[in-house]
């Protein structure tokens, strides 16, 4: 028997090898267009990313080695141009264009598929790649290295496109993925599952644009921009992963029965023409569930079908029963995806009355170090519970979950058939009840009416409108929802009628189910659990509270209450500290206040104040009274002097001054003492103990920095070859010049670390004191303050110049401008003269009417 096989990658080589094993006397010839055979097409993205280090790793077999192993003859570089079924010949041509014919007893067409390249301008520019052969992958990686590519656009958000995108990101590129379909991985996952994956990819830094079609590629000599109907995107390289088409163009006049370019075959992979078979990406097989035709351009399908075909030709086996569309893909290092069978949409399109559920389950014992979650969607026939399909995401072994479903679907198993299956368990591998079994339990409960839910898809379409959302998580986490402590629910819920429409939302779904079970027992008739919980869904609850006026919001803001924009009538309340200092009793009081009036959480601000989180408007006044009992007050907002901050001062090895003592004096004098004095804008003060600038005094409206000025006695300088003073200078402005030590005074920051370092006493302290900076600020318009032109030698002098700066700003500042703006408008020299030399009429300035412009 003479077999001629057209195509030498997955299906062709598998068929040839099995034919020779079934009949060693068979004459098997494989003709393939490329130079490589039996290569790892699915590994190409991982060569691009570097997981597969060299091209050889992609080649499963060379023609010579393959022929030696199997006995089949392989001819590379030969392209089939036609077939004649009547004469049982194939027309071929070699790389030189020489044509000839080859006779066969049986012909196997395994020509596979070719990348679909849309007819757009620029598609042939250097830097535009498909990913179909090892040469494609090698050229892509080489181009990245040679051209130092920074940005890539991947056209196509199917498995291959997303695999390539992930591997390009692994190479450090910024990646944009576009797809004309309204979702990623179309036809493989239902929309809500695809949207979850898209969100995770975006969080990882991948830009994804769906419903976006490629219209052109631009570049002068090489690709530089991708043009779409949704805008243009810069690209140093472009990957076309839009899809593949069956490589069957040469068969147009062959008489073969075809559909959309695929060759129609029966379960033995036989075509409508005698002794001609087709297998792999060029053939249309059947779906094992529906029996309908399905194109399965997968390496797994090609290998399985080719082996079954070879056995059938030799009178063995029962043929190929069909595919399930099984696939698995790594989307990110921490996100894998798997699927098999029918999606919910496909099941309904095939005429099944089906039910689906989405659940989030532990992938192994939750206490095990690398435990994560599976996000599972199961679909089953509603009346029988027969398993129809699975979709799964997770950081772990999604292939294992998928393979269990493959077996179940292939054997016609129902959900309950899995209930007591003895799957493997140990904490590093699984949960005591396997997560697949748990998913079946959940869908069984839904089918039996024990688990009433709203699906994520229906939730996004507004199915929860009119429902009261109950947050069933261990701690309150959903803004505007009513939190329910599950452990305390032993009867009806206060304020909720038993016929109220209640949506129960927990982290993943389990606690919602537990609460629903209890509430049903207490007579509640209209509860729903949101499938997948807050883990899978973006839960938003409309605010039902009163709408506060702008004037009232401004008033309470002046009391240190910052509105949480998510709620409208909930605030974070700032509690003033003494430069971060609090007594033990005060700490306890604030913690009690957070529990009693807020969410129980406290945060620290950059200004060394504490914020009690989540205080409802109605609880603000009781909170103020509660704090006042301990001598605590709120504030730190508005167009006023803000709480003073400082560094560690003398508790730091470099500290030159007691910053705590000075900052507390300034705080008492000008935060507390000037508390009712409005300024044109907020006025921030910071005290630093040395020029290390840890609290960034020069980025405050007024900053104070401790100073020690060195003085050199040249008569004591010995010009040592290794100068300890020079070595001790952190900013390297001390150096030996002509055998004598010099310190560049205009560059010296007066940190004092050089003082007394000289063993001969050449460097001593000339003066200690304070440098004062004015006009600094953080935020939208960062400005570095400038130092006043004198060194202040006492706290009294510093306290005095601080007050003059505040008064000057109140007197000559304009409403809405920061002190930096005032200085820029009037000029630094003018302001410095006013602060150092002029007398300000304090009484008159404080009597002025000043309107502040601070918004926070």
Residue 544 has pLDDT above 70, yes or no: no
In this structure, how many other beta carbons lie within 10 angstroms of the beta carbon of residue 40?
18
Distances in Å between the Cα of 60 and the Cα atoms of 13, 47, 55, 64 are 11, 14, 11, 12
Q: Which residue has the higher pLDDT, 552 or 191?
A: 191
d(CA 163, CA 301): 19
User: Of 567, 610, 617, which Cα lies nearest the Cα of 589?
Assistant: 610
Radius of gyration of the chain from its Cα atoms, rounded to whole angstroms = 38
* Euclidean distance between CA atoms 272 and 200, whole angstroms: 47
pLDDT attached to residue 737: 86
Q: Do domains 117-242 and 645-706+768-847 have the same CATH topology?
A: no
Angle, helices 63-70 vs 10-22, to 10°: value is 30
Nearest to 636 by CA among 560, 702, 556: 560
Using the predicted structure, report yes or no on whether residue 258 has a pLDDT greater than 90: yes
According to DSSP, the β-strands at 99-103 and 231-234 are unpaired
Residue 821 has pLDDT above 90, yes or no: yes
Read off the DSSP letter of residue 807: H
The C-alpha torsion from 109 through 114 and 119 to 125, rounded to 10°, is -140
Average pLDDT, the chain: 92
Q: Does domain 550-628 have CATH number 3.30.70.3340?
A: yes
Question: How far apart, in whole angstroms, are the C-alpha atoms of residue 248 and residue 237?
Answer: 30
Pick the closest to residue 569 from 613, 618, 622, 617 (CA basis): 617
**CATH superfamily, with its number, for domain 2-114+246-313:** FAD/NAD(P)-binding domain (3.50.50.60)
Identify which has the larger pLDDT, 305 or 604: 305
650 Cβ neighbours under 8 A, 6+ residues apart: 656, 657, 658, 659, 689
Task: For 472, list phi and psi in degrees, rounded to 5.
Answer: -105, 20
Give the mean model confidence (pLDDT) for residues 646-655.
84
Class of the CATH-defined domain 117-242: alpha beta
pLDDT at residue 545, rounded to an integer: 58
Locate 722 and state its tokens: 């290794």
How far apart are alpha carbons 9 and 7 in whole angstroms?
6
Q: Where are the domains of the chain?
A: 2-114+246-313, 117-242, 327-447, 453-536, 550-628, 645-706+768-847
Pick the range with the lowest mean pLDDT from 213-227, 530-544, 784-798, 828-842: 530-544
**pLDDT of residue 9 exceeding 80:** yes
Least confident of 8-12, 16-20, 25-29, 850-854: 850-854
Taking only the tens place, the pLDDT of each residue in 579-601 is 777 889 899 999 999 999 998 89
Q: pLDDT band for position 609 (50/70/90)?
A: confident
Superfamily of domain 645-706+768-847: Sulfite Reductase Hemoprotein, domain 1 (3.30.413.10)
**Residue percentage of the chain with pLDDT more than 90:** 71
Q: Mean of the pLDDT values across residues 265-288?
A: 96
pLDDT tens for residues 352-397? 999 999 999 999 988 998 899 999 999 999 999 999 999 999 999 9
Dist CA 435 CA 568 (whole Å): 41
Name 228's bridge partners. 214, 231
Length of the chain counted residue by residue: 856
448 CB burial (10 A radius; 0-12, 13-18, 19+): exposed
Q: Measuring CA to CA, which residue among 437, 429, 419, 421 is closest to residue 397?
A: 429
Please state, in angstroms and rounded to a whole number, the distance separating the CA atoms of residues 493 and 763. Answer: 78
Helix residue ranges per DSSP H, 148-208: 159-170, 191-203
The helix (run of H) or strand (run of E) holding residue 93 is strand 89-93
- Taking each helix axis from N to C terminus, what angle separates 819-826 and 828-836, rounded to the nearest 10 degrees? 110
Interatomic CA distance for residues 688 and 554, integer angstroms: 32
Top-confidence residue, 246 or 576: 246
Confidence at residue 296, expressed as pLDDT on a 0 to 100 scale = 93
Q: For residues 214-233, give the mean pLDDT.
A: 92
CATH of 327-447, one of 3.60.15.10, 3.90.1150.10, 3.30.390.30, 1.20.140.10: 3.30.390.30
What mean pLDDT is predicted for residues 400-414?
96
Residue 53 burial class via C-beta count within 10 angstroms: exposed 0-12, middle 13-18, buried 19 and up: exposed
Question: What percent of the chain is predicted at pLDDT more than 70?
Answer: 100
CATH superfamily of 453-536: Rhodanese-like domain (3.40.250.10)
Please report which confidence band the pLDDT of residue 50 belongs to, taking 50, 70 and 90 as the band edges.
confident
- pLDDT tens digits for 67-121? 999 999 999 999 999 999 999 999 999 988 899 999 999 999 999 999 999 999 9
């Amino acid at each position: 028997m003479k077999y001629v096989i057209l195509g030498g990658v997955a299906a062709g080589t598998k068929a040839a090898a099995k034919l020779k094993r079934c009949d060693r006397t068979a004459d098997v010839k494989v003709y393939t267009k490329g130079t490589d055979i039996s290569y790892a097409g699915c590994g190409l993205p991982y060569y691009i990313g570097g997981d597969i280090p060299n091209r050889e790793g992609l080649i499963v077999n060379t023609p010579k080695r393959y022929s030696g192993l199997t006995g089949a003859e392989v001819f590379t570089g030969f392209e089939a141009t036609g077939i004649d079924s009547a004469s049982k010949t194939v027309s071929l041509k070699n790389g030189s264009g020489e044509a000839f014919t080859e006779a066969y007893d049986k012909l196997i067409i395994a020509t596979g598929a070719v990348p679909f390249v849309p007819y757009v301008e620029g598609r042939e520019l250097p830097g535009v790649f498909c990913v179909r052969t090892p040469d494609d992958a090698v050229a892509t990686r080489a181009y990245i290295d040679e051209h130092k590519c920074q940005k890539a656009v991947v056209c196509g958000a199917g498995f291959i496109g997303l695999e390539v995108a992930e591997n390009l990101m692994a190479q450090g590129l910024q990646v944009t993925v576009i797809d004309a379909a309204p979702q990623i991985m179309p036809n493989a996952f239902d929309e809500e599952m695809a949207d979850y994956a898209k969100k995770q990819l975006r969080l990882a830094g991948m830009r994804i644009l769906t419903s976006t079609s490629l219209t052109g590629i631009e570049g002068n000599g090489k690709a530089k921009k991708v043009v779409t109907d949704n805008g243009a995107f810069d690209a140093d390289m472009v990957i076309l992963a839009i899809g593949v088409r069956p490589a069957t163009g040469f068969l147009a006049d062959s008489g073969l029965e075809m559909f959309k370019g695929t060759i129609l075959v029966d379960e033995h992979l036989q075509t409508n023409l005698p002794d001609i078979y087709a297998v792999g990406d060029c053939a249309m097989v059947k779906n094992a569930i529906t029996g309908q035709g399905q194109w399965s351009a997968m390496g797994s399908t090609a290998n399985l079908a080719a082996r079954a075909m070879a056995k059938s030709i030799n009178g063995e086996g029962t043929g190929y029963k069909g595919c399930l569309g099984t696939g698995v893909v790594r989307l990110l290092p921490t996100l894998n995806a798997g699927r098999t069978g029918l999606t919910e949409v496909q099941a309904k399109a095939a005429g099944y009355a089906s039910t689906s559920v989405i659940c989030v389950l532990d992938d192994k014992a939750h206490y095990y170090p690398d435990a994560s979650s599976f996000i599972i969607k199961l679909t089953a026939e509603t009346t029988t519970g027969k398993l129809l399909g699975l979709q799964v995401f997770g950081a772990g072994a999604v292939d294992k979950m998928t393979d269990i479903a493959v077996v179940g679907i292939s054997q016609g198993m129902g959900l309950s058939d899995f209930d007591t299956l003895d799957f493997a368990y140990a904490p590093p591998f699984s949960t005591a009840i396997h997560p697949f079994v748990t998913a079946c339990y959940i869908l069984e409960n839904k089918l039996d009416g024990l688990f009433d839910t709203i699906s994520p898809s229906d939730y996004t379409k507004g199915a929860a409108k009119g429902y009261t959302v109950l947050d069933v998580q261990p701690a309150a986490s959903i803004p505007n929802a009513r939190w329910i402590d599950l452990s305390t629910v032993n009867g009806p819920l206060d304020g909720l009628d038993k016929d109220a429409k209640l949506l129960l939302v927990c982290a993943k779904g389990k606690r919602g189910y537990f609460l629903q079970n209890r509430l049903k027992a207490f007579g509640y008739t209209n509860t729903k659990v949101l499938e997948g919980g807050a883990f899978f869904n973006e839960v938003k609850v409309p605010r039902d509270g009163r709408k506060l006026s702008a004037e009232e919001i401004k008033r309470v803001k002046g009391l240190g209450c910052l509105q949480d924009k998510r709620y409208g009538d909930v605030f974070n309340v700032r509690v003033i500290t003494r430069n971060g200092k609090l007594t033990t009793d005060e700490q306890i009081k604030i913690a009690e206040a957070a529990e009693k009036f807020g969410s129980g959480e406290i945060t620290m601000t950059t200004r060394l104040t504490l914020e009690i989180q989540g205080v409802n408007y109605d609880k603000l006044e009781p909170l103020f009274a509660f704090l006042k009992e301990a001598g605590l007050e709120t504030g730190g907002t508005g167009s006023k002097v803000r709480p003073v901050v400082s560094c560690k001062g003398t508790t730091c090895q470099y500290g030159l001054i007691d910053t705590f003592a000075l900052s507390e004096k300034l705080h008492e004098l000008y935060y507390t003492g000037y508390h009712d004095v409005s300024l044109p804008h907020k006025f921030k003060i910071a005290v630093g103990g040395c020029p290390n600038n840890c609290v960034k005094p020069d980025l405050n409206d007024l900053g104070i920095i401790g100073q020690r000025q060195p003085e050199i006695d040249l008569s004591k300088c010995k010009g040592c070859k290794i100068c300890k003073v020079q070595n001790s200078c952190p900013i390297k402005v001390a150096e030996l010049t002509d055998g004598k030590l010099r310190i560049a005074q205009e560059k010296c920051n007066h940190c004092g670390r050089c003082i007394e370092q000289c063993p001969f006493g050449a460097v001593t302290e000339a003066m200690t004191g304070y440098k004062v900076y004015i006009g600094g600020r953080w935020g939208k318009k960062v400005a570095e303050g400038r130092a006043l032109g004198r060194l202040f030698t006492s706290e009294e002098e510093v306290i005095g110049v601080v007050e003059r700066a505040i008064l000057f700003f109140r007197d000559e500042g304009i409403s809405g401008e920061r002190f930096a703006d005032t200085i820029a408008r009037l000029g630094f020299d003018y302001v410095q003269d006013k602060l150092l030399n002029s007398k300000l009429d304090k009484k008159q300035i404080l009597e002025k009417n000043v309107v502040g412009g601070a918004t926070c």
